Amino acid sequence: MLPIKSKVICAMSGGLDSSVAATLLKRAGFDVIGVFMKFWSPPKKNGLIGAPNRCCSPEAEIRARKVANILKIPFYVFDFSKEFKKRIVDYFLEEHKKGNTPNPCVVCNKEIKFGLLLEKALSLGADFVATGHYARKVQGSKCKMQNNNSKFKIFRLLRAKDKNKDQSYFLWMLNQEQLKRILFPIGDYKREEVEKLARKFKLPVLKAKKSVEICFIQTTISDFLKEYLKEKPGLIVEKISVNRDKKHSNFKILGKHRGLWFYTIGQRKGIGLSGGPYWVLDKDVKNNLLIVTKNEKDLLKKELICKNVNWISGKEPKLPLEIKAKIRYKTEFAKAIIYPTFSHLRECANIKDKVYRVIFEKPQRAITPGQSVVFYKGQEVLGGGIIC
C-alpha cells in the first residue's frame, strides 16, 4: 500500500502518455511534481543552430508546461545534456565503431530516466519517479538475497495491458532498487483509453507526434555516423567456401563499402551492389570486411551468445530455463532455452565477463550484435542481455 501524499516526480515530455500519467497521479492523490528533461542535441555548425532533440524540443516543453498549469503542479526543467552526450551518444558511437548495432533507448532508460532522474528525485525528497511507459510492476514472491539469509518480496516487471504498445523490452536493465521507486501509471490502460482520458481531462496533447526514431538523430543514422565517425572504406565480400578445419574462409570480392558502421546485419537496401539482391551477413571488423550473401536463408540462426545479462529479481534463476525471447523490439516472441556460462564460449567471443547461451526452438532472422535479447516468462520480464 502506497503512503498517502507520496511525493512523485513525473517525467513529462509534452506527449500524450506522460501527460495522462501525471494527471492520473494527481487525481489519485499523489503530491506530483512535473519535470521536463533536456537532452543533448547536435551543436551549431557553420553558424547555424542545430535542430533540437526530438524528445525535448521547445514545442514539447511548452506543451508539458501547459499540462502542468492545468494540473496546478510545480514544473521544473532538468538539463541532462552533458550526461546524455557522455552516457548515451558516445556509447552509441563507440558501439558502432566496434561493428555493433546498439539500442540507445535501453541504455537511456537505465542511465538517464531511471538513473540520473531517480537520483535527483531522491535527493529532492521524492518517494517515486513516474513515466509514461507502457509497462507494469507488481510486488510478488519472496527472494533470498545472495550472501544473506533474509528474504524480501521482489518487484516484478510485467508487460503492459496494451500488447501493441508494450515497452517492457526497453526496461530489462532495471534492478530492484530502481523498480522499488518507479511508477507506471498507464501500464494498465490501452492506448485508446489513454486518448479518451486526455480528451476527458482536456489536455492539449492529442496532436503531439509520437517520436519513434532515435531522438538525437535529426535525419538518418547514416548521416549522423558520417558526421561523427566519417568513412572508412573496405571490401565487400561474399563467402564462397570454408576450409575443412573451419579456420579459414574463401571470399569473392564484390565491391567496396563506405565503413562497417553504415551497415547492419540483415540489411538489403543501400549496399550498392549490382546483380543482387544481397543481404549483410556479417562484419569482419579486424580486416574491415563487409560479408554479404545472396541467400537470405543464411541469415537464419538458432542460437546466440549474450553478455552484460541483468536478472531483474537480482538473482540468477535455475538454469537451463525455458523462456520466450525477443531479439528486437518489433519481432515476435520466440521459444528458447537459456543455458549457463561455458568458458570456451567466453574465449570464442573474446569476453572476460559471464556470458549466456540462448538456443531457439526455431531459427531467428538476422540476430544482430549490440541489440538486446530480452527474456520473458509469461507476462514477466526476467531480464535480458546484449547480443555479442
* Final residue before a domain boundary, out of 171, 189, 222: 222
Residue 108 annotated among the catalytic residues of the structure = yes
**Pair 104, 250 in one domain:** no
Residue 186 within any structural domain of the chain = yes
pTM of the model: 0.91
* Final residue before a domain boundary, out of 294, 312, 329: 294
Residue 1 within any structural domain of the chain = no
**Pair 176, 37 in one domain:** yes
Residue 210 within any structural domain of the chain = yes
* Final residue before a domain boundary, out of 244, 270, 294: 294
What is the pLDDT, as a whole number, of residue 43? 80
Residue 208 within any structural domain of the chain = yes
**Pair 182, 271 in one domain:** no
Residue 108 within any structural domain of the chain = yes
**Pair 89, 75 in one domain:** yes
Residue range of the domain that includes 250:
231-294
Catalytic residue among 10, 56, 108, 306, which?
108
Residue 143 annotated among the catalytic residues of the structure = no
What is the pLDDT, as a whole number, of residue 15? 94
In angstroms, rounded to a whole number, what is the distance separating the alpha carbons of residues 280 and 265?
A: 5
Catalytic residue among 10, 215, 306, 388, which?
215
Q: Which three cell numbers stand for residue 53?
A: 532533440
**Pair 248, 374 in one domain:** no
**Pair 112, 207 in one domain:** yes
Which CATH number characterizes residue 249's domain?
2.30.30.280
| Cis amide leading into 340 (omega within 30) | no
**Pair 210, 340 in one domain:** no
Residue 279 within any structural domain of the chain = yes
Residue 83 within any structural domain of the chain = yes
**Pair 274, 307 in one domain:** no
**Pair 72, 193 in one domain:** yes
What is the pLDDT, as a whole number, of residue 147? 45
**Pair 306, 358 in one domain:** yes
Work out how many domains the chain is built from and give that number: 3
Q: What is the mean pLDDT of each run of 10 residues along the chain (388 residues)?
A: 77 96 97 96 64 81 96 97 96 97 96 97 96 95 51 88 97 97 98 96 84 81 93 92 58 95 96 93 96 95 96 96 97 96 57 86 98 98 97
Residue 2 within any structural domain of the chain = no
Which CATH number characterizes residue 149's domain?
3.40.50.620
**Pair 197, 344 in one domain:** no
What is the pLDDT, as a whole number, of residue 89? 97
Return the number of other C-beta atoms located less than 10 Å from residue 219's C-beta: 10
**Pair 186, 217 in one domain:** yes
